[in-house]
Amino acid sequence: MDTVSKYFGANVFNDTIMKERLPHETYNMLQRTIKNGKHLELGLANVVANAMKDWAIEQGATHFTHWFQPMTGITAEKHDSFISPAFGGKVIMEFSGKELIQGEPDASSFPSGGLRATFEARGYTAWDATSYAFIKDNTLCIPTAFCSYGGHALDKKTPLLRSMQALSRQALRVVKLFGNEDVRFVETTVGAEQEYFLIDKSVFDKRKDLIYTGRTLFGAKPPKGQELDDHYFGAIKPRVLAFMKELDEELWKLGILAKTEHNEVAPAQHELAPIFTTTNIAADHNQLTMELMQKIAKKHNMVCLLHEKPFAGVNGSGKHNNWSLSTDTGVNLLNPGDTPAENAQFLLFICAVLKAVDDYQDLIRISVASASNDHRLGANEAPPAVVSIFLGTELSEILDAIEKDVPYGTKEKEMLRIGVHTLPKFPKDTTDRNRTSPFAFTGNKFEFRMLGSSASISDANVMINTSVAESLMQFADILEQSNDFEADLHKLIQDTIRQHKRIIFNGNGYDDRWVKEAEGRGLLNLKSTPDCLPYLLLEKNVKLFERHKVFSPEELRAQYDIQMESYCKIINIEALTLLNMVNKDILPAVSGFIKDLGEAYQQKKAMPFAADCSYEENLIRDLSDLSGRLYHQKLALEKAMESRSGFADVGEKARYFRDVIFASMNDIRIVVDEMEDKTRSSAWPYPTYGAILFSVK
Ligand code: ADP
Ligand code: MG
């Protein structure tokens, strides 16, 4: 065995280890419990816990933790050691089944949106046995779901698992209609490509904005940015290569299938893509990937920036959520098949996605909404805030022919009858050329590209899974009643194309004309987080989540509150950071530079000859004007900040933060950047964009 296969998954209590370590009967019972999604019995849990503990201790672990994903979007853990007092002042290492299956973190400070009053601080974590336990930093981590005592979801994992179940339930009905009786469940698969920036720690440490907010609040354009495209797929610098090598090794030990690493478009920007896997595992793995990126960067004296827009005027970072559906028998349902039946099934699933994304554009948009991602969406470098689907020419032409009942293809001049004819083969690579589409069919999966780089992928997948489950449910309701399957299927596909083709757009999504056209088609263009979040509570959406048992109305309301609050909090921190920088660093620095200029001016004036003072004179005037303006702007922002807590309605508060606070920050930035351009390098208090973006040599 080569070395990688030897250590791949070495830190994971995976299926192979379970088989080795658990008594045969226990192993089988555990597998059955996992597959059927049943509650783990204590007797069984005790045996599993013991085997897990022995294995973990052999790997050097001393602690265990329930690892969970509160609605903050990052992961949380509270470590307990295995030690238990024993006779004679000694300890033994213990870990019970109860400790494995359920934990009670004091979780009063995690956001709950009112689902758990703070005096009832208890929430509990429960083992998600579908995701393997693993060891990280000498701690056995048990992936868990996090709920309130009333059973409300307080995390990102619970709704995701529920949405996967909803989708499986409905997809199963559909595949059975096509005669696939052996299928027991359908799972959604995801591969999440992750973008990030790496900068040197020395420049990071000098920027309060990066430290407190993750992005730069100021920064004049450097002489060289990304215009040469010389970074994209360019040779990777040795320091970055060393980082990537260590990252890969650590990810592999955790059983994470890191596959490709390359440079991205912007200087200092990179990307990692894993091989796809079941969605909830992909979500766990993406969280671990982000965590390890940050940790390993530090070891290499760098900082990994996961913010969506660390630098204005430079490409931001996103996450591409490659999504598909697969049967437990290994069939990718978004793969065009070879037989008429497979083809028909494929088309029906494509239609389910078309319908879902059209009917629930608002939810798809909400799933990627955050203060930090607002910088990307709608800007000229990432998907616009309009949701649309790219299908590629071939598939679009096929759908067009079906819709209009006209012949497709050049060879056989026959009409395509669904369920009777085989689809003409369309070359896969031609479907992947459009990089500007927010939701692109790429041959055998959809690539949802609107996600922000720092987000948990759970939200996006909850929305996709639930809305597609709804389409499939409606389809199954119709087809299960049918007496002429082929005819009704044909009609259903035709009707769906007719009703939802407005969501298909194969052109350039970054073109302003598209935004106009989309408006004409009646598509939503929800530009900011406060714009889109209210849609979450629309009756049709509340009903959708209730019907598929993904969110109760109370849980949905909590989601809304938490996300609006979080939007306000982020802008609040940014505004405070900005004011701190302006007051303590920028205004004093420029004032100091003006003083130097004044001294130079005085000295020149004292010369025995008439020295030209235009440089000093003009610059003093310009910078004095600018700092005067900045001073008044920052006074106005300070004043505006005083009114920020006077809102009873969180949506109103968020709009205030956007329209007043955030807008004022942007105006201030313009002035500060101009000051930076005019100020002597050594007098400017922060590393410049150039120094940051090219800090890793
Ligand atoms: P592309 O050329 O479009 O980038 P790749 O095959 O390299 O396509 O895959 C890109 C990402 O999509 C990878 O993370 C990969 O694992 C993922 N992916 C591929 N097939 C599937 C699938 N069936 N379901 C989910 N993700 C997938
Ligand atoms: Mg991609």
Q: Cβ neighbours of residue 371 under 8 Å, at least 6 residues apart?
A: 529, 566, 567, 570, 571
CATH number for the domain harbouring residue 595: 1.20.120.1560
Phi, psi for residue 260 in degrees, rounded to 5: -125, 145
pLDDT of 13 strictly over 90: yes
Same domain? For 97 and 174 the reply is no
Looking at the structure, tell me whether residues 503 and 599 fall in a common domain.
no
Report, as an integer, the average pLDDT of 217-225: 90
User: Which pLDDT score, from 0 to 100, does residue 433 have?
Assistant: 64
Looking at residue 200, what is its pLDDT? 98
- Taking alpha carbons only, the member of 549, 560, 367, 557 closest to residue 464 is 367
Rounded mean pLDDT, 648-665: 96
In a domain, 556, yes or no: no
Q: What ligand is nearest to the CA atom of residue 461?
A: 1
Does residue 428 line the site of ligand 1, with CB under 6 A? no
Instruction: State how far the Cα of 674 lies from the Cα of 679, in Å rounded to an integer.
Output: 9
- Per residue in 235-252, pLDDT (tens digit) is 889 999 999 999 999 999
Secondary structure of 515-556 as H, E, C letters: HHHHHHCCCCECCCHHHHHHHHHCHHHHHHHHHCCCCCHHHH
Contact 501, 351 (CB under 8 A): no
Site to probe by mutation for ligand 1, drawn from 260, 320, 428, 445 as the one with most ligand atoms within 8 Å of Cβ, is: 445
Kindly indicate the confidence band of residue 665, based on its pLDDT and cuts at 50, 70 and 90: very high
Instruction: Give the mean model confidence (pLDDT) for residues 584-590.
Output: 98
- Same domain, yes or no, for 142 and 233? no
Domain assignment of residue 74, yes or no:
yes
**Residue 192 is encoded by which pair of tokens?**
């999440």
Together in a domain, 151 and 167? no
Spatial distance between the Cα atoms of 74 and 77, rounded to a whole number of angstroms = 10
Whether 558 maps to a domain, the answer reads no
User: Domain containing 504: what range?
Assistant: 163-551
Q: Which residue has the tokens 């096509």?
A: 178
The tokens describing 546, both together, are 């209730």
pLDDT at 360 (0 to 100): 98
Question: 389 lies in a domain?
Answer: yes
Higher pLDDT, 393 or 363: 363
CA 193 to ligand 2 centroid distance, Å:
6
Tell me what pLDDT residue 91 has: 84
Q: At which of 104, 126, 155 does a domain end?
A: 155
- Please determine, for residue 167, whether its predicted confidence score (pLDDT) is greater than 80: yes
CA of 292 from ligand 1 middle (Å) equals 22
Whether the CB-CB separation of 405 and 498 falls below 8 Å is answered with no
How confident is the model over 287-306, as a mean pLDDT?
Answer: 97
Q: Check: CB of residue 675 under 8 Å from CB of residue 219.
A: no
CB 386 within 8 A of CB 376: no
Residue 559 lies in a domain: no
Are 570 and 628 contained in the same domain? yes
Residue 226 pLDDT > 80: no
SS3 692: helix
Please give the C-alpha separations between residue 125 and each of 62, 142, 694, in angstroms, as whole numbers.
20, 10, 44
- pLDDT the model gives residue 380: 56
Q: Contact, 637 vs 579, CB < 8 A?
A: yes
Please determine, for residue 232, whether its predicted confidence score (pLDDT) is greater than 80. Answer: no
Confidence class for position 263, pLDDT limits 50, 70, 90: confident
Question: What mean pLDDT do residues 261-276 have?
Answer: 90
- Residue 191, ligand 1, Cβ within 6 A: yes
Chain mean pLDDT for the chain? 91
Domain end point (choices 155, 183, 214): 155
Q: Is the pLDDT of residue 430 over 60?
A: no
Predicted pLDDT of residue 76:
86
**224 shares its domain with 342:** yes
Provide the residue type at 308 as one letter: E
Range 183-208 average pLDDT: 97
Does 432 have pLDDT greater than 90?
A: no
Summarize the confidence of residues 3-29 as an average pLDDT: 93
Q: Which residue has the higher pLDDT, 352 or 70?
A: 352
Straight-line distance from the first to the last Cα atom of the chain, in angstroms, rounded to the nearest whole number: 36
Instruction: Compute the distance from residue 677 Cα to the ligand 1 centre, in Å.
Output: 43
- Same domain membership, residue 66 and residue 39: yes
3-state DSSP assignment of residue 320: strand
- Identify the CA nearest to 458 among candidates 15, 145, 9, 115: 145
Of the bound ligands, which one is closest to the alpha carbon of residue 259? 1
pTM for this one? 0.94
What's the pLDDT tens digit per position in 102-157? 888 766 777 787 776 555 557 888 898 889 999 999 999 999 999 887 788 889 99
Per the rule left: phi > 0, alpha: psi between -120 and 50, beta: everything else, 117 is beta
628-645 residues labelled b (16+ CB within 10 A) or e (exposed): ebbeebbeebeebbeebe
pLDDT surpasses 60 at 342: yes
Q: pLDDT: is 461 or 35 the higher one?
A: 461
pLDDT at 49 over 70: yes
Nearest ligand to the C-alpha atom of residue 258: 1
- Co-location of 228 and 247 in the same domain: yes
560 domain residue, yes or no: no
Measured CA to CA, the distance from residue 441 to residue 156 in angstroms comes to: 26
pLDDT reading at 682 higher than 90: yes
> What's the confidence (pLDDT) of residue 113?
76
Q: Are 114 and 240 in a shared domain? A: no
Decide which of 111 and 580 is more confident: 580
Q: Which atom of ligand 1 is nearest to the CA of 443?
A: 3
| Same domain as 387, residue 499 | yes
Nearest protein Cα to ligand 1, atom 23: 324
Q: Do 345 and 337 contact (CB within 8 A), yes or no?
A: yes
**pLDDT the model gives residue 109:** 73
Q: 504 and 603 share a domain?
A: no
Both tokens assigned to 488: 């009704």
- pLDDT tens profile 78-105: 888 998 888 888 888 889 999 998 888 7
**Quick one: pLDDT at residue 436?**
85
Is 427's pLDDT higher than 70?
A: no
Given a cut of 70, whether residue 382 has pLDDT beyond it is no
What is the CATH classification number for the domain harbouring 83?
3.10.20.70
pLDDT in tens, 527-556: 999 999 999 999 999 999 999 999 999 999
Q: Residue 429 CA: which ligand is closest?
A: 1
What is the total count of domains within the chain?
Answer: 3
d(CA 674, CA 667): 11
Instruction: Locate the ligand 1 atom nearest the alpha carbon of residue 275 and give its number.
Output: 16
Does ligand 1 come within 6 angstroms of the Cβ of 442?
yes
Residue ending a domain, choose from 517, 551, 585: 551
> Does 551 contact ligand 1 (Cβ within 6 A)?
no
pLDDT at 410: 54
Report if residue 557 sits inside a domain.
no
Question: Which residues lie closer than 8 Å to 650 by C-beta, 6 or more apart?
Answer: 561, 564, 565, 568
pLDDT tens column, 471-508: 999 999 999 999 999 999 999 999 999 999 999 999 98
Contacts (Cβ under 8 Å, ≥6 apart) of 146: 68, 69, 70, 105, 107, 110, 123, 124, 125, 153, 154, 155, 157, 158
Mean pLDDT along residues 620-635: 98
Query: Ligand 1: which atom is nearest the Cα of residue 193?
Result: 14
- Answer whether 40's CB lies under 8 Å from 28's CB: no
State the average pLDDT over residues 282-301.
97
Both tokens of 229, joined, read 């495209």
Q: Tell whether 353 and 213 lie within a shared domain.
A: yes
**Is 527 within a domain?**
yes
CATH number, domain at 462?
Answer: 3.30.590.10
Count of CB atoms situated within 10 Å of the CB of 3 = 8
567/263: higher pLDDT:
567
